[in-house]
Amino acid sequence: MMLPFKNKDYYHYKMQGSFSIKKVLPALIPEMEQAYKNLNLIHNGSEAMQSFENMQNMSQNIQEQYRKALLEYCKLDTLAMVKILKHLEECVK
């Protein structure tokens, strides 16, 4: 998914030279600019990895909250990739 951006086949100044999904998504799909910021507990990949690792030391109640947050984060990552792909397909039509 990152190849068109990494190879500079597609560039938008709002990506600020990055091809991270956190930069590409708001540049291409402006209505999703706040999507990751609006998530509960987990907002980026580092938080996701750290939370997953720490879940074994959490109470069951907190663990369930983080499990749901991880699922929402993964769901948003997937949706972001679908929306980016659709945007790129529209550009080549």
**Looking at residues 34-40, what average pLDDT do you find?**
95
pLDDT at 50: 97
Question: Cα-Cα-Cα-Cα dihedral of 47, 14, 87, 36, to 10°?
Answer: 20
Q: Is 90 exceeded by the pLDDT of residue 1?
A: no
Residue 86: other Cβ atoms inside 10 A? 12
- So where are the chain's domains? 3-91
pLDDT at 74: 96
Q: Is 80 exceeded by the pLDDT of residue 49?
A: yes
Return d(Cα 50, Cα 45) in angstroms, integer. Answer: 9
Please give the residue that has the higher pLDDT: either 93 or 12: 12
Which of 7, 8, 20, 17 lies closest to 84 in space, CA to CA? 20
What average pLDDT does the chain have?
Answer: 92
